[in-house]
Amino acid sequence: MFRFLSGLGSYCMLLGKVFARPEKHSIYYRQTMKELVTLGLRSIGIVTIISFFMGAVITLQTAYNTENPIYPTYLIGLGARDSILLEFSSTIVALILAGKVGSNIASEIGTMRVTEQIDALELMGVNSASYIILPKVVATVIFNPFLTLISIITGIAGGWIVGTSAGVITSQDYIYGIQYAFIPYYITYALIKTVIFAFIISTISAYQGYNVEGGSLEVGRASTKAVVYSSVTLLLFNVILTQLLLS
């Protein structure tokens, strides 16, 4: 418990350093662009592939679980849409990004720590926390909503393509279903969650990397911790946010 509190304290102090006023805006802008590419654009592929297959599986499962003539088949489309919007495209995608982006951030920053690159920045009088971490946080918070939108679209498309070719639903029913009783707020909900999850993943992973002591072994350990801690925190916040946003 004490360790948890002191960890939380130093996490908050690190955030304070991260959000101090940047020194040279042009350099921060350049770094943020770089991070948008490494942390954002390079995640599109994995998000697309996973969303497509998850959309497909959700559609098939919904279809096989509702094989009852009483239910109209368009409900399959509706069910798939709501699972994708409410849970899958924000939370599951965030969990996957916690693995990919989180370990990337922690190991990059951890390596900078053990090879004294962070000391070198501090010695020059640069606020190393802000210089290294802020662009990563900004990049993930800006870009993850796009990833979520991409995930929603490919997920629904995956359900449509696989659902119709497996013959569990007709194209018309699926398209009718995904429009039926559509609540636009669900998209807002998904995007709000994504932004908060992006913040959790990037800051917790950065914290783990920034505080590495030792050598490459510890960097590996920090990157594992980054994935575990950000995933657990993210799931906890998922519960809280769902209660806050949907009740």
Instruction: Please report, as ranges, the residues that interact with another protein according to CB under 8 A.
Output: 23-24, 27, 34, 111-112, 115-117, 119-120, 122-126
First to last CA, the chain: 31
Instruction: Give the shortest CB-13-to-another protein separation in angstroms.
Output: 14
Please report how many Cα atoms fall inside a 13 Å half-sphere around the Cα of residue 67, on the Cβ side.
6
Question: What span, in angstroms and rounded, lies between the C-alpha atoms of 34 and 46?
Answer: 19
Nearer to another protein, 112 or 222 (CB): 112
Which strand (E) or helix (H) includes residue 92? none
Question: What span, in angstroms and rounded, lies between the C-alpha atoms of 190 and 152?
Answer: 10
Instruction: Give the shortest CB-120-to-another protein separation in angstroms.
Output: 4
Nearer to another protein, 119 or 217 (CB): 119
Nearer to another protein, 217 or 246 (CB): 217
Three-class SS state of 238: helix
Instruction: Give the shortest CB-73-to-another protein separation in angstroms.
Output: 52
Which residues are CB-contacts of 242 (< 8 A; sequence separation ≥ 6)?
Answer: none
Which residues are CB-contacts of 22 (< 8 A; sequence separation ≥ 6)?
Answer: 28, 130, 134
Q: How far is CA 120 from CA 57, 116, 123, 217, in A?
A: 50, 6, 5, 22
Instruction: Give the shortest CB-6-to-another protein separation in angstroms.
Output: 14
Nearer to another protein, 10 or 171 (CB): 10
Over its C-alpha atoms, the chain yields an Rg (Å, rounded) of 21
Triad 146, 103, 186: Cα angle to 5°: 30
Instruction: Give the shortest CB-151-to-another protein separation in angstroms.
Output: 28
Nearer to another protein, 34 or 71 (CB): 34
Instruction: Give the shortest CB-127-to-another protein separation in angstroms.
Output: 9
Residue type at position 184: P
Nearer to another protein, 117 or 242 (CB): 117
